[in-house]
Structure formats: structure tokens, C-alpha cells
Amino acid sequence: MPVWDIALKDLLQISRDRKTIFFLVLMPLIFTAFLGALMPGGSGSAAVDNRLPLGTLNRDPDAALSAALLQALQSSPDLRLVDLGSLAEDQARQQVQDGTLAGLLVIPTGFSAQAFAGQSAPPRLVTDPSSANHLGVESALNAAVVRINLMLASARLSADSFAKVQPFTSPAERQAYLAQAITLSAAAWAKSPVTLSAESAASGAADQPTASSFNQSSPGMIVQFAIYGLIFAGAILVSERNSRALQRLLTTPVARWQIIAGHVQASFLVVMAQEVILIGFGQVAFKVDYLRQPAATLAMAAAVAIWAASLGLLIGVVSRREEHVVLWSLAAMFLLAGLGGAWFPLDVTGKTFAAIGHLLPSAWAMDGFQNIILRGLGFESILLPVGILLGYTLLFFGVSIWRFRTE
């Protein structure tokens, strides 16, 4: 059949290029591992503490409230405490200014005693307002201060209740009681924290996918290099046109639609094979759980492959030289990958950027894959992404066929 013959000819031509294996398989594997290791939560970040360094100058050592505050900060997922010992405050401030520290916490002398007496000697936070970490440090510290205030209020209520039964003989005795109450409260807080258990509304199950940076880098590189692989397929069509082989083929009984279908079929098979390899690699090497919904994963891979094949056809039709194919393919790859969330999650970019990104098919391709591997959703969650990818496929096919007929 002419369609299969044309597709087989394209596949043989692509396979003879020694660069094919490297650019279509090895390069995306390398990028998947590299980007996944760089992102927070990747295997390469296991030995790196990505929390914000907060320097501490504790001028109120061996005091219960000071110890409780530092303990609360140590449990923060966002801060890493750096004990500066007896370092001079101006030298500590300099470390904040030069970026060595994200912030400096100074606990003044008598902080605990004055708080127990109802007086104010608040800790001081020093940050660089021009730094991107300014708000993060302040927010994490405020959360710890809220905890300390709750402990202090609880200790005061306990002391007041105790005093009604057995009055304190001196202010020092009351402060000793408060200190012991704070110590016990801090120990109880650390021992039995209340946690939140999240479940999926779709399945009602609590076994959510494990958070991993490879849940971003693996599908991201699948989408990006599906576009990059079109360089080879598009170059074949341009080469046929420039060598007049396409014109001679049009004089045979082979219909135009069969020529187009043959080239598209070859592109589809190339991209689909590439995706299968990358999905298998992500599943085995990085525990990206594509197989939790194998039918949904297969449907998404097929939708991405047919969309990429239609884009490759369009690039091949509008290009006149092979270098034009490379130029258009790279431009499409960087635009669709960068704005479509293949390099970083659109969730963290804000509503405006995310809305712009979702004008592109690549963003919907990422949504479909991550609905499976990151959000733990079922087959129904990919229906909208697949539908949008097929819509773009029809658009690219339509433009390509129209341009092909007018040549």
C-alpha cells in the first residue's frame, strides 16, 4: 500500500542518520535526569539543604521561651538555622547584606523573663528587603511566633488556675512555673503534631503519587523532544521537494492524501517510539508512575504523537530548505516548551502566565500527563487535554493540506 511504503521509506531514511539515536533518545534521557536532579526534590538534591539559612544570635540562652522559639524554627520546612554563637551583630548583618544568610534573628537578653512578666522585649528580624527571600523568611518566622504566643497564653492560663488553688509566694516562683509549662508544651508540640491527610476527590483514596521533581522533568522532556524530533521528519519532505522526487511522485497514481498520510504516519511512529522509551525510562529509573493508569498514559502519548506529527507536517510544508526546518522546529520547541510548562510548573507562575501558557497545546499535554502521575487522577482527567490536542492536530493538518494543494 502506498501509505505504508512512503512511511517505511521515511523510517529507513531517518534510521540511517547516526545522529537520530542521540537526538531522539539519548539527549532527552540526559535532560530528564539533569533537570530532575536540579529541581527541588530530585535525586541530586538529597544532599543539598534548600531551606533558607537564618542566622541566630541568642542573647537569652538557657531560657525556656527562647529555647521553644528556636525549636519551633528548627521544625520549619522553609528555614535552616545557623547558630552564630557570640558573633558581633554588625558582622552578622553583613552576612545578610552579602547574601550568605537569608535573614538574622536576634533574641535579646531577658526575652523570656520579660515575656513572662507581661513586658515586651521582642526578637528582632533583620533581612534584606531587596532579596527575593525576604518575604519567605518573614512568613516562616511569623508562623513560629504564633506557635510561641499560643504556648505562652496556655502557660499563663495554667498559672492563673494553679494560683487560685495555691498562690505563688513570689514573682520568681510564678516565672519558674511558666518556664516549666513552656518546656512541657514545646515537648508535647514536637511529639504529637496534628497533621493533615489529603485524599483525591476523584478516587477517595489516600495513596497519592509520591512528590518528585521527575514528575515535572520526565513529561516535560517527552513534550519538548517530541517537537525536536520533527527536525528529521520535516527535513525529509523538504529534501524530496528540492530533489524533485516529490514532484515526480505526484505524477504517479499515488494520491496526494496518500503522500501526506505516509509522511505523517512515519512521524507519528517515530515520536510514539520515542515517547515509549522515555516513559519506560521514567517509570523504571525515576519511579514516575505512568503505569498507575496505563490506558490513560497510552492515550496521552498517542495524542502527543499525532499532534507532533501534524506540526511536523506543517513545518515541512512551509519550509523551503533543510535549515529552515531546523530553525522552525527549534523555535517551536523553545516556545511551546518554555511557555507550555515543560521546564517548570505553570502553577507557580501566576494566573496570567498560566492562562497564556494554556493557549498552547504543550500546556495541555503537560496537564494530561501530570493529571496521571502527579495528581493521581483517572482516565477521565485526560479527556479534555486529549480533545484539545486533537483539535490542534486538525488545525495543523488543515493548514498543511491547504498549503500543499496550492503549491
Residue 288: closest CA among 380, 376, 378: 376
Regarding predicted confidence, which is higher, 65 or 194? 65
Residue 310: burial class (beta carbons within 10 Å; 0-12, 13-18, 19+)? buried
Comparing 14-23, 60-69, 123-132, 332-341, the range with the smallest average pLDDT is 14-23
Residue 283: burial class (beta carbons within 10 Å; 0-12, 13-18, 19+)? middle
Residue with cell 542521540: 22
Q: Residue 204: is its pLDDT beyond 50?
A: no
What pLDDT does 345 receive?
Answer: 82
Q: Residue 274: is its pLDDT beyond 80?
A: yes
What pLDDT does 131 receive?
Answer: 74
Stretch 312-327: mean pLDDT? 78
What pLDDT does 279 receive?
Answer: 92
What pLDDT does 46 receive?
Answer: 42
Residue 102: closest CA among 55, 139, 44, 58: 55
Regarding predicted confidence, which is higher, 285 or 5? 285
Backbone φ and ψ of 83, nearest 5°: -75, 115
What pLDDT does 297 receive?
Answer: 93
Q: Where in the chain is the domain with CATH 3.40.1710?
A: 52-191
Q: Which three cell numbers stand for residue 13?
A: 531514511
What pLDDT does 38 receive?
Answer: 66
The 124-126 sheet, strands edge to edge: 79-83, 52-58, 103-107, 124-126
What pLDDT does 106 receive?
Answer: 93
Are the C-beta atoms of residues 147 and 71 closer than 8 Å to each other? no
Q: Residue 304: is its pLDDT beyond 90?
A: yes
Return d(Cα 179, Cα 11) in angstroms, integer: 77
Beta strands per DSSP E along 147-227: none
Q: Which three cell numbers stand for residue 17?
A: 542518520
pLDDT by residue (tens digit) across 80-122? 899 998 899 999 999 998 888 989 999 999 888 888 888 877 8
User: pLDDT band at residue 78, thresholds of 50, 70 and 90?
Assistant: confident
DSSP alpha helices (H): ranges in 192-321?
A: 214-228, 230-242, 245-250, 256-286, 294-318
236 CB neighbour count, 10 Å cutoff: 23
Are the C-beta atoms of residues 96 and 128 closer than 8 Å to each other? yes
pLDDT by residue (tens digit) across 213-270? 788 888 988 888 887 766 666 666 666 666 666 666 666 666 666 767 777 787 788 8
Are the C-beta atoms of residues 82 and 51 closer than 8 Å to each other? no
What pLDDT does 383 receive?
Answer: 94
Return d(Cα 233, Cα 12) in angstroms, integer: 11
pLDDT by residue (tens digit) across 2-50? 666 666 766 666 666 666 666 666 777 777 777 766 665 544 444 445 6
- What is the identity of the amino acid at 49? D
Contacts of 30 (CB under 8 A, 6+ apart): none
Could you give the percent of the chain with pLDDT greater than 90? Answer: 17
Q: Residue 331: is its pLDDT beyond 70?
A: yes
Comparing 201-215, 267-281, 348-362, the range with the smallest average pLDDT is 201-215
What pLDDT does 263 receive?
Answer: 72
CA atoms within 13 A on the CB side of 378: 7
Q: What's the CATH number for 52-191?
A: 3.40.1710
What pLDDT does 234 receive?
Answer: 64
DSSP codes, 42-59: SGGGTT---SEEEEEEES
Is pTM beyond 0.95? Reply is no
For 83, the enclosing helix (H) or strand (E) is: strand 79-83
Taken in order 344, 349, 353, 354, the sign of the CA dihedral is: positive
User: pLDDT band at residue 295, thresholds of 50, 70 and 90?
Assistant: very high
125 CB neighbour count, 10 Å cutoff: 16
Q: Report strand pairing: 52-58 vs 79-83.
A: parallel
Return d(Cα 25, Cα 225) in angstroms, integer: 9
Q: Which three cell numbers stand for residue 102?
A: 537569608
Q: Residue 187: is its pLDDT beyond 50?
A: yes
Return d(Cα 404, Cα 296) in angstroms, integer: 34
What pLDDT does 338 receive?
Answer: 86
What pLDDT does 245 receive?
Answer: 66
Return d(Cα 129, Cα 120) in angstroms, integer: 25
